[in-house]
Amino acid sequence: MSDCVFCKIIASEIPGDKVHQDEQVTAFRDIHPVAPTHILIVPNKHIASINELTSEDEALVGHLFTTARTLAEREGIAESGYRLIINVGPHGGQVVYHLHLHLIGGKKMRYPMG
């Protein structure tokens, strides 16, 4: 998608504080962090939201989550805990329509969510 900000970060057309990139996913720090660690993990393939996933994307979605685990370990938050969030649609709080997983940690999360 030529107008997608995340696609542009993946392609290095605009800057992003990348912390990981492989053939399937790219991870970069959120520009508006809500915790000491706030990383977005996005598929390199443009998928607007979970609502567009197909069975062909199952391995990719699994890779998003294993990448999150690896990054949590690297950031030093795996043992203390962290939150993973995917927002879907306007009522779910989705702002950028490119599927992304928020990895948030480094402080105690509040409950309840929402």
- Rounded CA-CA distance 99/57 in Å is 12
Dihedral, CA of residue 7, residue 11, residue 13 and residue 16, to nearest 10: 80
Residue 113 covered by a domain: no
Give tens-digit pLDDT for 80-112: 999 999 999 999 999 999 999 999 999 999 888
Structure tokens at 57: 């994307």
Q: What is the CATH number of the domain that holds 18?
A: 3.30.428.10
Instruction: Supply the range of the domain harboring residue 94.
Output: 5-105
Residue 111 covered by a domain: no
Give tens-digit pLDDT for 57-75: 999 999 999 999 999 999 9
Residue 52 covered by a domain: yes
Residue 112 covered by a domain: no
Domain count, the chain: 1
pTM of the model: 0.95
Catalytic residue among 63, 91, 98, 100: 100
102 belongs to the catalytic site: no
Residue 69 covered by a domain: yes
